[in-house]
Amino acid sequence: MTKPKILLARAVFPAIIESLSTRFDVATNQTDQVLTKSELIARLQGVDGALTTGSERIDSDLLVACPQLKVVANMAVGYNNFDLPAMTERGVQGTNTPDVLTDTTADFGFALMMATARRLTESEHFLRRGEWTKWRYDMFTGSDIHGATLGILGMGRIGQGIASRGAHGFGMEVIYHNRTRLDPATEARCRASYVSKAELLQRADHLVLVLPYSAESHHAIGAAELAQMKPTATLTNIARGGIVDDVALAAALKARTIAGAGLDVFEGEPAVLPDLLTLPNVVLTPHIASASGPTRMAMARLAADNLVSFFTEGRVLTPVNTVTSIVR
């Protein structure tokens, strides 16, 4: 029997390639070249399934050009690179990797928030430039985490993990806003109180963004929202680029409308708005919130397991769409 053919669109752990090769005809990209749309379409000719990352856009044009494609497994919890209506219409199953990165990402989000509040990057650069010559009472004074008000916009698994770390570990008052309010038991476990978005912006000492990207959440934080925040507040984004209007954020940071920002994601990444690179009161990281060795391996394994399950059992473990009809 001919093995199904799959494409691993980006570099992945050799152990994953070895495992998949026992079941599939595997095409790899271990040079980790980010494929253009035309290159991706060319590589997907005759391919039944693909393992992708956020850099591979699966849209209607690609699906029409790749009629054999049946399943795409994203090695990420987010899937805004998927045109889900188009995939569903053409009977292409999409999957993601939820749960396995929750704690690692919550850890990182909290670390990025703390680095921003305590001005770690700014002070490290000062030291490395050889400018530290004496102690001073107000040198790099930042804001406290313990006892502060933690605001969370987007209260899914990762948001709940951050809330628990703040409430249980640092005695923070936790407030949140979500499209749907959590049930009372989950609120009690997280020690979190539901508030309106306006109240969240106005009260939070440290605002963390953990909401999924969509057309509705595009620029959920713009100039108007930043103007509602405290001038002493910080903003941390570990969600997706595009949720924050980076131009408005750079202007607010420059004007000290807010005290600082910690950013792991950006509009148009890997490009970063040049103004953000010049500001001292922003901590910048290259989309690495889930980047621990065990977690990245777990993400890759879950993506691979979704491909295996699809072709051996006719179902997937973590679907992001429901395929009811196949149009070829």
Torsion sign over Cα 201, 165, 98, 23: positive
Strand order in the sheet with 71-74: 25-27, 5-8, 49-52, 71-74, 93-95
* Pair of tokens at residue 240: 């997706």
Find the catalytic residue in 89, 173, 199, 269: 269
206 catalytic? Reply is: no
Per annotation, catalytic residue among 187, 240, 267, 296: 240
Distance CA 316, CA 286 (A): 30
Instruction: Check 157, 203, 287, 301 and give the catalytic one.
Output: 287
DSSP 3-state assignment of 6? strand
Residue with tokens 């508030």: 195
- Note if 287 is an active site residue: yes
* Chain centroid offset of residue 196 CA: 23
Whether the CB-CB separation of 253 and 281 falls below 8 Å is answered with: yes
Q: How far is CA 49 from the centre of its chain?
A: 24
Helices (DSSP H) in the chain: which residue ranges? Answer: 14-21, 37-43, 60-65, 84-89, 102-117, 120-128, 157-164, 170, 184-190, 197-203, 223-228, 246-255, 274-278, 293-313
Cα–Cα distance for residue pair 22/304, rounded to 1 Å: 12
Let me know if 203 is a catalytic residue.
Answer: no
Cα–Cα–Cα angle for 182, 158, 254, rounded to 5 degrees:
105
Active site positions, annotated: 240, 269, 287
